[in-house]
Amino acid sequence: MIEITERWGLAKKGSWEFSNQEIKIPNIFFLEGEYFDVPDRAEITISDEPSSRFSVMRSFFEDQSAAFPKTFAYPESIGNGLVEIKGGEEKIQVLFDQEPDPDAELFVIGNAPELFQRSRTLYERIIELRKKIDHHKLIYLPGIARVNNLALLTYLGVDLFDSSLVELMSSDGIESSNWLTFEGSPESNTRRLMEELNLVRKAIGSGRIRDLIESRVRTEPWMVEVLRSADEDYELFSRGVPVTGNTLYATTRESQTRPDIKRFARRIKDRYEPPENREILLLLPCSAKKPYFYSRSHSRIREATQQTDWTSLQELMLTSPLGAVPRELELFYPAQQYDIPVTGRWIKEEIEMIINQLRVVIEKKDYKQVISHLPEEMDFVQKEIDCIDTTKGDHPTSPDALDRLREVLKDEAGEERGNVKRYLKENLGSFARFQFGPEGAELLEGAEVRGRYPRYRIIEEEKQRGMLVPERGLISLTLEGAKILKEKGIYQAQIDDFYPEGSVFAVGVKEASDEIRPEDEVIVLHEEELRGVGPAVMSGEEMKQAEKGEAIRLRHYP
C-alpha cells in the first residue's frame, strides 16, 4: 500500500509497504555485488546473493544477470508481465505493449533503455501509463537513471529507479554529474546519484522540485524537449500543484509555462471579472518587493492617485512571467512570490505574453480610459494599446511623471473620492471569484468587508464568513462561509458518517470535487450535513483514489 505525504505535480514523496517492509519513494535500487559500488546511504539494493543490506527486491529479480534483470531484455519470457511476490499480496507488472493490470501496485517499463534513445517516445510511454493508473500506483523505470535526469523523471511521475546505467558508465570510465557527463574518475557515480535522490526528495517536500528541474534540464536538449512536452499537458501536471507556495524563481524560458504560472493566466481568462465600478484602467510596472502594494515605487504612485477618485481606478501591473496582475489579486500565488531577473530588455515571448494578457483584461470591461504609467522600456504597450502615456520617457516615480499622472487622473476620474466600502467589497468579491469560480461571489452577498489591508474579513451580522490571509494568499473559510458555498456544489468532499476533528483521511472520503487542488479550501460534508472546512492536502481526484494519507486539514468543524 502506498502513502503519499508530499507532492508537487506528478512528483511525489512517501512510502510503499512492500513484503512487510517500508520503502521510501522516490528511491533507487542500487546493484550490489563484487563489482558494484553501493553508497553508504543506500536504502535498497538488488542482489542475487544473500546480503546484510536491505535487498527487498531479491525475490523479483532472482533471475538477474550481472548488471540487469534478464526479464526486461526478453519480453516474450514474461507473458502478461504480472509477478506476484511470494509471501505478500503485492503485485508487480513488467510492461512492454500490454495494458496495465488494475491489481498491480508497481509497473515496470521493461524496455526503458531502448526508449531512452527516443525522448519523445519515452515521454509518451511514461505519460500514457501514468494516465491509465491511479496516482497512488508506482512506476519503476529501470536502466536509465543518471544524476542529471533523476529530477526530471521524478517530475514525470516515475517513483523508482536503479543504478545500472551509472554502473555501466563507471565501467567505461565516464563520470556522471548533475550538469554533464565526462571522462574522469567514475568512483563517485553512485554516491552522486544518492545525493541527487536526497536533493529531489527535499525539493518535493519544500515545493521547489520545478526550480530544481529547470536547473538540470539545461544540460541536455532532450530534457528540455521533455519538459516542454510536460508543460503542454497542463491538465495532467497541474492537478497536484498547490494553489499556494514559496518563492518562485522565473529564470528560464520554461518558467513561463510551468503549471502554477499557467494556472494564474488561465484564471485571468476564465474566472477573473473586473470590479464593477471601475471606469479607468491604470497600467503600472511591477516592483521587486512583493506584494506590490508595499513597495516604495507603488507607495509613491499611490500618493499621486490618492489625490483623485482612486476608487474608480482599476490598477493592473504588467510583468513577466504572469503577464497582467490586477491589484486586487496581488496576494494570490504566485503574484506575491515570483522573482525574475531584471535587465530592462524584454524578449519577444514576454512582450507577446504581456500584450495578450492585457487584451484579455481590456475585453472584459468597457473602460472609459486606459492610462499607461509604464517605464520607457515598456513602450511596446503604447504601440499596441490605445492609451494615455503619463510617463513620456521619464521614470514612473519621477516628479514630472507623477505630476502628469495626477493631472490626467483629475481630468478623467475627478477629485471627489467615491464609495470606499463598495470599493473594498468589489475587490474582495473579485478575489473570491478568482479563487472559487463565479460562485465565489456569493460570499460577499449581504456582507461587508472589515479590517485593514491585507487582512480583510467578510462579515454578515457579526458572523464571519471568511478572511483574506496574506500568508496563504487565499480566503480562508469559516463554517458560515462554508454554508454559503455548500449550496453551490463546489470544492466539496463527501465523507462517510463520522465527525472528523483535526484531519480527514483519504480512506474516509467517498467523493470529491474535481476542481480541488492541494491547499484549496474544501467543504466537508456527509450527505447534506456540514462536517467541517479546511485546506486540501491532495487534489480531489487523488482523494477519491487514495487509501492512505491525510486528505484535508480541518480548520473548523461543528
DSSP bridge partners of 511: 494
Residue 71 is predicted with a pLDDT of 36
CA distances (Å), 517 to each of 261, 294, 344, in order? 15, 29, 36
Identify whether residues 230 and 350 lie together within a single domain: no
**419: Cβ contacts below 8 Å, ≥ 6 apart:** 277, 311
Identify whether residues 163 and 20 lie together within a single domain: yes
Local structure of residue 164 (DSSP, 8 states) = H
All 3 cell numbers of residue 484?
A: 454559503
Q: 332 in a domain, yes or no?
A: yes
C-alpha 223/C-alpha 151 separation (Å) is 11
**501: Cβ contacts below 8 Å, ≥ 6 apart:** 554, 557
> Which domain CATH number covers 516?
2.30.130.10
C-alpha 321/C-alpha 422 separation (Å) is 31
C-alpha 403/C-alpha 418 separation (Å) is 22
Identify whether residues 206 and 355 lie together within a single domain: no
Torsion of Cα atoms, 215 then 221 then 226 then 227, to 10°: 30
C-alpha 284/C-alpha 304 separation (Å) is 13
C-alpha 24/C-alpha 194 separation (Å) is 13
Let me know the angle formed at the C-alpha of 238 by 237 and 239, rounded to the nearest 5 degrees: 95
- Tell me which of 389, 412, 435 is where a domain ends: 412
Identify whether residues 282 and 223 lie together within a single domain: no
Residue 307 is predicted with a pLDDT of 95
* Pairing mode, strands 44-46 and 27-31: parallel
C-alpha 110/C-alpha 140 separation (Å) is 9
- CB-CB contact of 156 with 127 (8 Å): yes
Q: 466 in a domain, yes or no?
A: no
> Which domain CATH number covers 135?
3.20.20.105
All 3 cell numbers of residue 386?
A: 490605445
C-alpha 258/C-alpha 50 separation (Å) is 46
pLDDT (tens, 9 = 90+) of the chain, 558 residues, equals 899 999 999 999 999 987 777 889 999 988 887 778 888 888 888 775 655 454 444 444 444 333 334 334 333 444 444 544 433 466 888 888 889 999 899 999 988 888 888 999 999 999 999 999 999 999 999 989 999 999 999 999 999 999 989 988 888 888 877 766 555 566 688 999 999 999 999 999 999 999 999 999 998 999 999 999 999 999 999 999 999 999 999 999 999 999 999 999 999 999 999 999 999 999 999 999 999 999 999 999 999 999 999 999 999 999 999 999 999 999 999 999 999 998 889 999 999 999 999 999 999 999 999 999 999 999 999 999 999 999 999 999 999 999 999 999 999 999 999 999 999 999 999 999 999 999 999 999 999 999 999 999 999 999 999 999 999 999 999 999 999 999 999 999 999 999 999 999 999 999 999 999 999 999 999 999 999 999 999 999 999 999 999 999 999 999
C-alpha 126/C-alpha 228 separation (Å) is 15
SS3 353: helix
Identify whether residues 349 and 307 lie together within a single domain: yes
Identify whether residues 196 and 285 lie together within a single domain: no
All 3 cell numbers of residue 63?
A: 533471475
**476: Cβ contacts below 8 Å, ≥ 6 apart:** 466, 467, 468, 469, 521, 535, 555
Q: 507 in a domain, yes or no?
A: yes
Quote the strand ranges of 470-520, DSSP E: 474-477, 492-495, 503-505, 509-512
Identify whether residues 82 and 218 lie together within a single domain: yes
C-alpha 55/C-alpha 29 separation (Å) is 9
> Which domain CATH number covers 278?
3.40.50.10630
Identify whether residues 233 and 278 lie together within a single domain: no
- Tell me which of 214, 238, 262 is where a domain ends: 238
DSSP bridge partners of 283: 316, 372
| Sequence-ordered alpha helix ranges (H) in 172-208 | 189-206
CA distances (Å), 287 to each of 336, 341, 374, in order? 10, 12, 12
- Tell me which of 356, 384, 412 is where a domain ends: 412
Residue 85 is predicted with a pLDDT of 43
SS3 242: coil
Identify whether residues 36 and 152 lie together within a single domain: yes
Q: 458 in a domain, yes or no?
A: no
| Sequence-ordered alpha helix ranges (H) in 271-398 | 296-305, 348-362, 380-384
Residue 45 is predicted with a pLDDT of 82
Q: 352 in a domain, yes or no?
A: yes
Secondary structure element (H or E) that encloses residue 17, with its range: strand 11-18
Identify whether residues 225 and 362 lie together within a single domain: no
Identify whether residues 217 and 294 lie together within a single domain: no
Q: 46 in a domain, yes or no?
A: yes
Hey, how many other C-beta atoms are within 10 angstroms of the C-beta on 80? Answer: 11
- CB-CB contact of 350 with 262 (8 Å): no
Local structure of residue 321 (DSSP, 8 states) = T
Domain that holds residue 101: 2-238
All 3 cell numbers of residue 485?
A: 458555498
Identify whether residues 280 and 186 lie together within a single domain: no
Domain count for the chain? 3
Q: Is the pTM of the predicted complex or chain greater than 0.75? A: yes
Q: 139 in a domain, yes or no?
A: yes
C-alpha 148/C-alpha 197 separation (Å) is 10
Q: 357 in a domain, yes or no?
A: yes
**403: Cβ contacts below 8 Å, ≥ 6 apart:** 304
Hey, how many other C-beta atoms are within 10 angstroms of the C-beta on 42? Answer: 21
Residue 250 is predicted with a pLDDT of 93
Exposed, middle or buried, 128 (CB in 10 Å: 0-12/13-18/19+)? exposed
Residue 49 is predicted with a pLDDT of 60
